[in-house]
Amino acid sequence: MVWICTSLQILAQQKKPNILWILTDDQRVDSNGYYNQITTGKKDSPLGYVSSPNLDALAKEGAVFTNFYCNSPACAPSRASIVTGKYPHHAGIYGFEKTHNQVDYFNKTLPEVMEDSGYQTSMFGKKGYYIFNRDKKGKIRGFPNFYDQMVMANELRRNKNTTDWDNSTVAGTVDGKYTKLDSRVNFYYPNGVHKSFSRTDKITTDEKKVKEEVEKELDILYAYTRSSSDLIIGGQNSMPAGKTLDGNITREFLDYLKNENKSYQSPVGKKMQGVDSSKPFFTSLSYHFPHTPVMPPKEFRDQFKGKKYKVPVFSKEELKKLPPQLKKLYSKGKIDELTAEEKQQAIRDYYAFCAYGDAQIGKAVKAFKDYSKKHQQEYVIFYVCGDHGWQLGEQGIETKFSPWETSNHTSAIVVSSDHTKYPAGKVYKGFVEYVDIMPTILAAGGVDVNAKEFDFLDGYNLAEVLINQEKNRDYVIAELNHVIGPRAYLRTKDFAFSMRTRETNQKASNKFAPNKNIKWGLEAPRAKVEMALYDLRIDPSERNNVANDKEYIKLADWLRNKLGNIVLGDGRIETNWQQKNDYNRTTFALGADDKKAVIPKNLIPKVK
């Protein structure tokens, strides 16, 4: 009897598809030709030439979601919303605070549920979410291993055999205190050469020469060439294609497949176990490209030589109507003072880096399909274009962290060997959100996401979205408290709205109670809430903030009330992460997030 049960379990597991979830970092939606082809009729970006042959081919095999929106335009809170399946205001994660999983509202994460469902789980690349272990004394000690096996981008980056560039910190003891002594930039070359120099005023004359040599040799472009910032937004990689950080992320995944049913050693020194061919597997393949430093390898950079791009239009006149928060974001991320050629390089190298990433994804997808076919196993591939978007001069900035379209709008491809679930060539143009990633993957793995135990999930299974009109949304939402403080966003087909949600930039702590004065965003004077509103019917590039224009004031106030009730009163959680279980949940507007934006017609200005 035991043997029969075990055999049935094995058969059930073998029927589950292998699932490969691919996520990139800071990748904007128009970097992929398939998206541009669907939405504009040509593969080039509105800015110019892009190259994505592997993803273009993948898009033809399954369903494409052209209006995919992140729920926070920054790495940590976006990735946290993905693995928890919750909006930031339900996960209590709004930025880069060090969170933990010991609060009693913390549910099992995406990989943990997949493991419970019979999957072997693995992650290769950037983890990104700031969820850590908390010891008995309340101190942060490492992070929980949500996956069975992980080789993280940081492990690869900090190993001279598996990296191209590293930003390292030298620390030591001074007067009995442990402190940061120096911050250094390191470049690694295929011949074993390592070039390094200080990022601080401690840099020596000899190091200055090395710095100048590297910058000239690799054609390094910094984001703020008129200041001292060393954020690299253009240049050539010191390593050839395949040997970069992203190349090594691909290699880790391929090694995992090649060494099936046996143990092996990763170049970072980890003892790994190859995929078990008797079980389905779920892998998170999380690339670092095209995140800064933007340095495509020479082979791909050469493909973009001589390409000319249309630089996004921006005028400082736009700043006059921006609230203080967004003016601050401009001051921190501005690139409008770059020269014309520097702007061309920034755009060219960014798209070249995306093209290199496309080649890496192509290798991974082929190996994944080959493995699945070899073992006669079904498969699902879920590609997500960036943990959020990226701006290349829109609103005068090159960064993320913003409520604007290019920081939040991405796309996705879902391919299944069972074409009945995700038909080839299917395009869905309605709104979908990153909170949909967890239920989509769980459902693909045979989990009943409609069961009561998954009531905490904020998103929908995208397979159901394709066939069920009840899953259609009128709007998408996002929230972030980082760089410029707390701000939430709501976007409908015709309008884009954002507002300051909390009075100060503080997050819950031992000195600031969770959800203190929570209704401030709804009750404070208009000017304090710093609203921004764009009429996308006539201003799709979001250049004219009309929140305080006479004919739009009532509409802005309506949107403030709608968004404010959702993110502040519909189950908002704020957590003092310095304690084990100190949080507060609001319930004064339960049900506000009904996915409907029925704006009274008399509030909508007519446009010519």
Give the pLDDT confidence of 41-81 residue by residue, as tens digits. Answer: 999 999 999 999 999 999 999 999 999 999 999 999 999 99
Q: What is the pLDDT of residue 168?
A: 81
Please state the CATH superfamily assignment of the domain spanning residues 15-163+244-291+302-471 in this structure.
Alkaline Phosphatase, subunit A (3.40.720.10)
| Range of weakest confidence among 9-13, 157-161, 162-166 | 9-13
Q: What is the pLDDT of residue 233?
A: 97
Q: What is the pLDDT of residue 480?
A: 98
Q: Is the pLDDT of residue 227 over 90?
A: no
Spatial separation of the C-alpha atoms in residues 38 and 66, rounded to whole Å: 8
Spatial separation of the C-alpha atoms in residues 153 and 159, rounded to whole Å: 10
Q: Token pair of 536, please? A: 């996308």
pLDDT confidence band for 7 (50 / 70 / 90): very low
pLDDT confidence band for 180 (50 / 70 / 90): low
Q: What is the pLDDT of residue 137?
A: 80
- Return the H-helix or E-strand segment holding 475: strand 475-481
Q: What is the pLDDT of residue 316?
A: 96
Q: Where are the beta strands (DSSP E) in 483-530?
A: 486-492, 495-500
Spatial separation of the C-alpha atoms in residues 319 and 311, rounded to whole Å: 18
For residues 448-456, give the mean pLDDT: 97
DSSP conformational letter for 130: -
For residues 174-196, give the mean pLDDT: 83
pLDDT tens digit string along 514-529?
999 999 999 999 999 9
Residues in the chain: 608
Q: Which of 390, 459, 381, 453 is closest to 71 using CA atoms?
A: 459
Q: Is the pLDDT of residue 6 over 50?
A: no
Q: Which of 438, 443, 430 is closest to 476 using CA atoms?
A: 430
Mean pLDDT of the chain: 94
Q: What is the pLDDT of residue 134?
A: 86
For residues 165-184, give the mean pLDDT: 73
- Cβ neighbours around 537 below 10 Å, total: 13
Q: Who has greater pLDDT, 137 or 483? A: 483
The residues pairing with 168 across neighbouring beta strands, listed in sequence order, are: 184
Task: Give Cβ neighbours of residue 338 (< 8 Å, ≥ 6 apart).
Answer: 225, 346
- Return the H-helix or E-strand segment holding 129: none
As a three-state string, the secondary structure of 277-328 is CCCCEEEEEECCCCCCCCCCCHHHHHHCCCCCCCCCCCCHHHHHHCCHHHHH
- Return the H-helix or E-strand segment holding 71: none
Q: Is the pLDDT of residue 369 over 50?
A: yes
Q: What is the pLDDT of residue 13?
A: 55
Q: What is the pLDDT of residue 200?
A: 81
Q: Is the pLDDT of residue 171 over 90?
A: no
Q: What is the pLDDT of residue 181?
A: 67
pTM tops 0.85, yes or no: yes
pLDDT-above-70 percentage for the chain: 95
Q: What is the pLDDT of residue 135?
A: 83
Q: What is the pLDDT of residue 179?
A: 63
For residues 82-109, give the mean pLDDT: 96
Spatial separation of the C-alpha atoms in residues 83 and 62, rounded to whole Å: 23
| Range of weakest confidence among 30-34, 224-228, 231-235, 242-246 | 224-228
Q: Is the pLDDT of residue 568 over 60?
A: yes
Q: Is the pLDDT of residue 175 over 90?
A: no
Q: What is the pLDDT of residue 5?
A: 45
DSSP conformational letter for 181: E
For residues 396-400, give the mean pLDDT: 96
Q: Is the pLDDT of residue 467 over 70?
A: yes
Spatial separation of the C-alpha atoms in residues 600 and 408, rounded to whole Å: 26
**What is the amino acid identity at position 417?**
S
For residues 391-413, give the mean pLDDT: 97
CB distance 36 to 30 below 8 Å: yes
For residues 302-307, give the mean pLDDT: 97
Spatial separation of the C-alpha atoms in residues 168 and 214, rounded to whole Å: 17
Question: 340-374 vs 53-61: helix axis angle to the nearest 10?
Answer: 50
| Range of weakest confidence among 222-231, 267-276, 352-361, 401-410 | 222-231
As a whole number of Å, the CA-based R_g of the chain is: 24
Q: What is the pLDDT of residue 183?
A: 86
Spatial separation of the C-alpha atoms in residues 382 and 416, rounded to whole Å: 9
Which of helix, strand or coil describes residue 573? Answer: strand
pLDDT confidence band for 15 (50 / 70 / 90): confident
Which residue spans of the chain are classified as CATH 3.40.720.10? 15-163+244-291+302-471
